[in-house]
Structure 1
Amino acid sequence: MAEEDEIVLSFNDSIIRKSDMQLLDGPYWLNDRLIEFCFEYFEKEQFNHSADKLCLIGPDVTQFIKLAPAEEIAPFLEPLNLPEKQFIFLAVNDNQSSDKAGGTHWSLLVYIRNIQEFRHYDSQKGSNTEEARNLAYKLQPYVHAPMGRMKFLEQDSPQQQNGYDCGVFVIATTEHLCKELCEGYNISLMDMVNSSSVSKKRQQLKELIHHTAREYGS
């Protein structure tokens, strides 16, 4: 790897390089490595008090679940103890290739056990509906959701005003819902996540990555 694309942060299974950080300057689409880091940070640090009931599945595993044959999925999901989790988050990408990165849009799929419901949050409403619905069907037996008529709902979600902020909306929406579901936060998603807060979130993520790198000696 060229020196100019040096590693900025190594955190559990996440590696963030200088080129990834540059995507946060905008106006750029976020890649899977940045979303993977945020999901890991939320689960292992910010919301680790709820680790027994919370599972955030990053983009790579989500993409595998979406595209792999059903019989190959179980070995990847069993270690996650999904039947024990109350809230399961997945970053959904519209990429249909199993062997290379890509895609043009991110959205968020959440399973909430106590109401036995999959909820889809899409900042470009309707763009990832089929991808998210198909993913929910594949996940249904592994989360022990009731068989038969699956509850899949498109949620009212904050909407992006450009073609590149979908990944930041996924991160901001995930953080907000974790606060709501795990900490009783009672300010609505629509009031807290918007184009202005998402623009600020890019700088906040840069600061979080640098702070985590200092804390973990990366």
Structure 2
Amino acid sequence: MEKVVVSFGDALLRSSDVALLDPPHWLNDNIIGFTFEFLSSSLPPLQAQQVSFLSPEVSQFIKCCGNEASDFLEPLDLPSKELVLIPVNDNTGPEAGGTHWSLLAYVRRYTVFLHYDSSPGTNAPHARLMAKNLDVLLGGKQNYREEDAPVQHNSYDCGMYVVCVAEALSEQHLHGHDSMFLRNITPQFVTQKRVKWKEIIKGLSCKSLSHNLQV
């Protein structure tokens, strides 16, 4: 069986998942799920109550199951969140897969869904469907808007742009910024983030191995 590199919260990464952080690979559900889990766990306590990072599995369920998702999502208490970050995939089925990632953000103070797509227009139908399904849970008063987003310059970095934009929006919420500027997310920045996430995973893996050796 393939080696497990790290287990973190609800996320589990194998060596083939971690290898996707090397260009020119697309990120899969497992890597994005891990990064969202890690970012969520890194939030200060107060912000952790205000911000929700949804996993790719949950977001795909929202898109595919429509109104049926409401009961399933109730324990997440999304109506109380100030910011909800949702990865969007162009896959039309319930299983993992697809060829393009983008990010949908619900911002409570503005009662709006903001869609950030590094390949503008590609995932708009999927994001709109997801927003429509979530709107029922959030009271049916939300607007939807396509936002200017950092644009990928290759065919494989869409998932990394999702991770980078989600992290930036979370940080801006933490510091109370109203304007969500994403100018720092350049192609070079995204490439560096691939390396950074590999370092984070390596650190967690070494820490876990050290703990197991001490037990």
Q: How large is the Cα RMSD of the aligned pairs? A: 1.8
Match of 1:55 in 2: 52
- Per-residue CA deviation, residues 50-78 of structure 1 (Å, 9 max, x unaligned), is 1111111110110011011522x123201
Alignment equivalent of 1:6, drawn from 3, 26, 32: 3
Q: Which amino acid aligns with 1:95?
A: N
- Per-residue CA deviation, residues 27-62 of structure 1 (Å, 9 max, x unaligned), is 000001010011111111245541111111110110
1:95 to 2:54 alignment: no
Taking the aligned partners of 2:151 and 2:45, their CA distance within structure 1 comes to 29
Q: Which amino acid aligns with 2:187?
A: S
Contact 2:118-2:152 at 8 Å conserved across structures: yes
Taking the aligned partners of 2:62 and 2:173, their CA distance within structure 1 comes to 24
Contact 2:85-2:104 at 8 Å conserved across structures: yes
Gap regions ≥5 residues in structure 1: none
Alignment equivalent of 2:13, drawn from 10, 13, 16: 16
Taking the aligned partners of 1:215 and 1:91, their CA distance within structure 2 comes to 28
Match of 1:196 in 2: 188
Q: Which amino acid aligns with 1:104?
A: T
Match of 1:206 in 2: 198
Alignment equivalent of 2:27, drawn from 14, 27, 30: 30
Taking the aligned partners of 2:66 and 2:175, their CA distance within structure 1 comes to 37
Taking the aligned partners of 1:47 and 1:129, their CA distance within structure 2 comes to 32
1:44 to 2:36 alignment: no
Taking the aligned partners of 1:64 and 1:188, their CA distance within structure 2 comes to 28
Q: Which amino acid aligns with 1:208?
A: I
Alignment equivalent of 1:169, drawn from 147, 161, 179: 161
The alignment of Structure 1 onto Structure 2 pairs a total of residues equal to 210
What secondary structure sits across from 2:96 in the alignment? Answer: coil
Gap regions ≥5 residues in structure 2: none
Alignment of 1:60-209 (within 5 A): 60-71=57-68, 73-98=69-94, 100-146=95-141, 150-184=142-176, 189-209=181-201
Q: Output the TM-score relative to the length of structure 1.
A: 0.90
Q: Which amino acid aligns with 1:192?
A: N
Q: 1:204 and 1:185, CA in 2 relative to 1: closer, same or farther beyond 3 A?
A: farther
- Per-residue CA deviation, residues 14-37 of structure 1 (Å, 9 max, x unaligned), is 001100111111100000101001
Q: 1:206 and 1:52, CA in 2 relative to 1: closer, same or farther beyond 3 A?
A: same
Q: Which amino acid aligns with 2:120?
A: K
What secondary structure sits across from 1:192 in the alignment? Answer: coil
Contact 2:67-2:136 at 8 Å conserved across structures: no
Q: CA deviation at 1:212?
A: 2.4
What secondary structure sits across from 1:95 in the alignment? Answer: coil
Taking the aligned partners of 1:27 and 1:66, their CA distance within structure 2 comes to 28
Contact 1:157-1:189 at 8 Å conserved across structures: no
